[in-house]
Chains A and B, each alone.
Chain A
Amino acid sequence: MSEYQKNSVVQAKERLTDSLFRLTLSAPHIAASAQPGQFVMAACGPTLDPLLRRPLSIHQTSKDGNIQLLFKVIGRGTQLLSDLRPGNTLDLIGPLGQGFQAPQETPVCLVGGGIGIAPLFFLAQTLLRGSFAVDSGLVLLGARTGEEIEQLAAEFNELGFLVEAATDDGSFGHHGLVTDLLPSSLPKMKGVYACGPFAMMAAVAGLCRNTKVPCAVSLEASMACGLGACLGCAIHGAGGGYKHVCKHGPVFDAEEIAWNR
Chain B
Amino acid sequence: MEPLTTAPMDLRVAVGSLQLANPVMTASGTFGYAAEFSNFVDLDRLGALVVKGISLKPRPGNPPPRIVETACGMLNAIGLENVGLDCFIIKKMPFLRACKSRVIVNILGDTLEEYATLARELSAVAGVDGIEINISCPNVKKGGVAFGTVPEMAAAVTHAVKNVTHLPVIVKLSPNVTDIVAMARAVEASGADAVSLINTLIGMAIDIYKRQPKLANIIGGLSGPAIKPVALRMVWQVASAVSIPVIGIGGIGTAEDAIEFLLAGATAVQIGTANFYNPRATEQILTGIEEYLHQQKESSVRAIIGALGSGRET
Contacts and interface: CB of A to CB of B under 8 A. Distances in A.
Interface of A: 1-5, 43, 48-53, 93, 221-225, 227-236, 241-242
B40 interface: yes
A234 B276 contact: no
B225 interface: yes
Interface residues of B, number: 33
B203 interface: no
Interface string B53-88: 000000011111111110111101010010000000
B32 interface: yes
A52 B81 contact: no
A224 B39 CA distance: 17
A63 to B, nearest CB: 24
Contacts, number: 93
A93 B31 CA distance: 16
Given A51-B72, A51-B224, A229-B32, A224 B273 contact: yes
Contacts of B276: 52-53, 224-225, 229-230
Dominant secondary structure at the A interface: loop
Contacts of A2: 39
Interface string B131-168: 00000000000000000000000000000000000000
Contacts of B65: 221-222
B69 A235 contact: no
B199 to A, nearest CB: 16
Contact of A221 (B37, B64, B78, B275): B64
Interface in B1-56: 30-32, 36-37, 39-40
Given A51-B224, A222-B65, A241 B39 contact: no
B225 A51 contact: yes
Contacts of B62: 234
Given A93-B279, A230-B76, 12 more contacts: A49-B71, A49-B72, A51-B73, A51-B277, A225-B36, A225-B276, A225-B277, A231-B66, A231-B78, A232-B78, A233-B67, A242-B60
B168 to A, nearest CB: 24
A43 B72 CA distance: 14
Contacts of B225: 48, 51
Contacts of B30: 229-230
B36 A222 contact: no
Contacts of B37: 227, 229
B280 interface: yes
Contacts of B76: 224, 230, 232
B63 A50 contact: no
Contacts of B36: 225, 227-229
B253 interface: yes
Nearest to A232: B67
Contacts of A50: 69
